[in-house]
């Protein structure tokens, strides 16, 4: 099985692929668009994309890509993100004047960097920052990335767990061309639009409340090409194969201008 992810080898996304799928072949991609293209073209059977971080919030680009592409969500996986301060071998902490990494990683370690007087500089990827540092050989620069990235590139870890908040998780979604039929407790992701009239969102939410369906996430996104109109993304507990969920979606269809099921999949449960 071949699974696409965004980033360089050693990226957190690749670690999530191995944690979720096991030992599969991975396909690094430069962008999220390229990840979706890899699955659409059949180059990869599946992909794992980040959809939200517990500290930084949603990855909005991937919500938009889920809508634009005819792919299905088959699963979810929350990855505990532990950032490492990585340097070329032999470099000491007192030598480090600058840290390079993805903007989110720098933001999640902002307090640590301030404390040590290290200037942040944004680059395109966490694992990519380690690759860049190795190629440059700089002795006053560190990269912020995963332990695996340091090991892959033969670099030195000065300190691990430098994120300011230890409750740092990124939720990933597994996507493919085919929809799954989940076993056990399921979660369903949908997207819909409503007429901009009083009470429309209240009525839409009521179809779930009336049936005691638990909503785990609600996200609104601008509807491209229609200023001040919005898409609503919702995750709820249940499967489209359940009778209660079917009735709720049929009821929602009475109010929604557009309604699409992005997938029903097994809800992640820690072992």
Residues 236 and 252: their CA atoms lie apart, in Å, by: 13
- Sequence-distant (≥ 6) Cβ neighbours of residue 40 within 8 angstroms: 69, 70, 71, 177
Active site residue 170: yes
Length, in residues, of the chain: 271
Instruction: Give the pairing type, strands 156-160 and 98-101.
Output: unpaired
Q: Which of 170, 188, 192, 208 is catalytic?
A: 170
Residues 110 and 115: their CA atoms lie apart, in Å, by: 9
Residues 29 and 128: their CA atoms lie apart, in Å, by: 12
Contact 74, 153 (CB under 8 A): no
Q: Which of 5, 36, 72, 172 is catalytic?
A: 172
Beta-sheet strands, E only, within the chain: 2-6, 25-29, 46-53, 57-58, 72-80, 84-87, 98-101, 119-122, 141-145, 156-160, 169-176, 186-194, 215-222, 230-237, 256-266
Residues with a known catalytic role: 170, 172
């Amino acid at each position: 099985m071949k699974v696409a992810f965004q980033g360089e080898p050693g990226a957190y996304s690749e670690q999530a692929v191995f944690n979720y799928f096991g030992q599969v072949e991975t396909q690094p991609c430069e962008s999220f668009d390229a990840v979706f293209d890899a699955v659409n073209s059949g180059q990869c059977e599946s992909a794992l994309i980040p959809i939200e971080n517990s500290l930084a919030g949603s990855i909005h680009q991937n919500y938009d890509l889920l809508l634009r592409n005819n792919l299905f969500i088959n699963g979810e996986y929350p990855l505990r993100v532990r950032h490492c301060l990585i340097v070329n071998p032999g470099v000491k902490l007192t030598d480090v004047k600058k840290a390079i990494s993805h903007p989110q990683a720098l933001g999640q370690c902002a307090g640590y960097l301030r404390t040590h007087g290290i200037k942040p500089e944004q680059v395109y990827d966490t694992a990519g920052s380690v690759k860049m540092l190795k190629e440059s050989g700089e002795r006053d620069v560190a990269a912020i990335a995963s332990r695996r990235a340091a090991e892959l590139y033969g670099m030195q870890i000065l300190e691990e767990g430098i994120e300011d908040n230890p409750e740092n998780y990124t939720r990933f979604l597994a996507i493919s061309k085919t929809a799954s039929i989940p076993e056990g407790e399921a979660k369903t992701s949908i997207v819909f639009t409503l007429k901009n009239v009083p009470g429309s969102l209240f009525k839409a939410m009521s179809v779930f409340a009336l049936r005691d369906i638990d909503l785990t996430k609600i996200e609104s996104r601008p509807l491209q090409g229609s200023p001040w109109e919005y898409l609503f993304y919702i995750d709820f507990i249940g499967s489209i194969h359940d009778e209660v969920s079917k009735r709720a979606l049929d009821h929602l269809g009475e109010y929604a201008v557009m309604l699409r099921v992005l997938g029903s999949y097994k809800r992640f449960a820690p072992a």
